Structure 1
Amino acid sequence: MTKFLEELRRRIPVPEDRLPPGQVVTIKWPVLHYGDVPRVDTGTWTFEVSGLVDRPFTLTYDELLQLPRKSVQCDIHCVTRWSRFENVFEGVPVQLLLQRGGVQPEAKFCLVSAEQGFTTNLPLSDLDRPDNLVALKWSGEWLTPEHGWPARLLVPHLYFWKSAKWVRGLMLLDADVPGFWEQNGYHMHGDPWKEERYGGRGLSQHDINKLRNLSKKNV
């Protein structure tokens, strides 16, 4: 741990049972992504639920805004080792969308799609939880483009790369298909309490450094 992180940990004491191993608390919300922030036209934007569902459907942005919303207070944990406590997100419950689509018995996993072709994967058991949202607001304000506007997935119990920014759809599958970060070495699951940061293929330190550099582009 660097001297900066050690000093930060001393300044912001937290209960050990609240901070996952290897994490440091920040009061800021760092901006981390790969590539440019996409330019989104909400007039043509859509959100799709597809795959192993009885009733596939597509929502426009206005239709998404008209759906029931809820607020969720949660801690978030980034794979790059920062955590931020007591965030309040507002959005459409993922469970509502799954119920509307009608999940088929064969569905066990989800491939989440986002702008610019980015994807990430989730077991259905991790997706189908009451605190998960298609988030529209944070701390009472609309998400900024840097943090995923017009919508981002919120799956707060996993590392935050699973909460895909600029989310565009959920495809339910019967197999676990790796997304962009998982193909590049991140863990298929991403539980912060188990430090599931990187995949189990014996990553070298060079590989790990490459992943860190990728995730810190455009900070």
Structure 2
Amino acid sequence: MSKPQTNKLPPGQVETSKFPVIHSGPVPDIDLNTWDFRLFGLVSEELRLTWNDFMELPKYTSTSDAHCVTTWSHTNNEWEGVALHTIMSLITLAPEANYALVHAEGGYTTSLRVDDLLREGVMLAYKHNGEVLSRDHGFPVRLIVPHLYFWKSAKWVRGIELLAEPKLGFWEQRGYDLYGDPWLEQRYRDTTSRT
């Protein structure tokens, strides 16, 4: 179980005043006129939101720390966007939908449990510290999952696929832990990993 946010860093982390930019592949050039977000898979009916639809949803703000698996931590990030539980309330999940695969631009994916997506502080953010996200940091929206390592907070998110069983995402396929709790130092997959 993840520990609540404190003034302490998880084991093995070092605080940085800069917000490093790390991603795989090129930074996409996204047109908001054609951007959409989908919830699909084990749902009663697929949901598709345009940018205008998304921006009409209730705004949500949260402050959290970001802990990268590469050992840097950037603390006290103020995010503004839409809470994931708000978006998920727009659909009806199948009873067996316990897992999710988050889809982003360029084929990037990351896997999560549905109950982690519904936790307080989890959101699709479009602003960081009062400024619209830069392209390098995920414009127009990035997922924020503050209780897990930051690779789970995918940039350039386009959809969430609901699943009955976990499906490995981009970094999970390359040996990263299935869960990724920074307080337990779940960086790489081993026999103590949980799904």
TM-score (norm 2): 0.92
| Residues paired across the two proteins, number | 186
Q: Which runs of 5+ in 1 are unaligned?
A: 1-15, 202-219
User: What SS does structure 1 have at the residue aligned with 2:171?
Assistant: helix
Q: Which has the higher helix share?
A: 1
Q: Which residue of 2 aligns with 1:106?
A: 96
Structure 1 range deviating more: 111-120 or 98-107: 98-107
**C-alpha deviation, 1:130, in angstroms:** 2.1
How far 1:103 sits from its partner (Å)? 1.8
Instruction: Give identity over the alignment, percent.
Output: 49
1:63 matched residue in structure 2: 53
Alpha carbons 1:55, 1:100 under 8 Å: kept: no
The aligned runs of 1:172-191 (5 Å cut-off) are 172-191=162-181
Residue pairs, 1:1-219, within 5 angstroms: 18-200=8-190
Quote the Cα distance in structure 2 between the aligned partners of 1:17 and 1:40.
36
CA contact (8 A) 1:55 1:101 kept: yes
Distance 1:72 1:59 in 2: 22
Q: Deviations over 1:36-81 (max 9, x none)?
A: 1011111111100011112321011111111111100111100010
Question: For residues 74 and 17 of structure 1, what CA distance do their matches in structure 2 show?
Answer: 11
**TM-score, normalised with respect to structure 1:** 0.82
Quote the Cα distance in structure 2 between the aligned partners of 1:80 and 1:61: 32
> How far does residue 186 in structure 1 lie from its aligned partner after superposition?
0.8
After superposition, the CA RMSD in angstroms is: 1.2
Q: Distance in 1 between matches of 2:123 and 2:46?
A: 19
Letter aligned with residue 151 of structure 1: V
Q: Rg larger in 1 or in 2? A: 1
Runs of 4+ in 1 over 3 A off after TM superposition: none
Paired with 1:54 and 1:122, the residues of 2 have a C-alpha distance of: 20
Partner Cα separation in structure 2 for residue 141 and residue 59 of structure 1 = 23
CA contact (8 A) 1:93 1:131 kept: yes
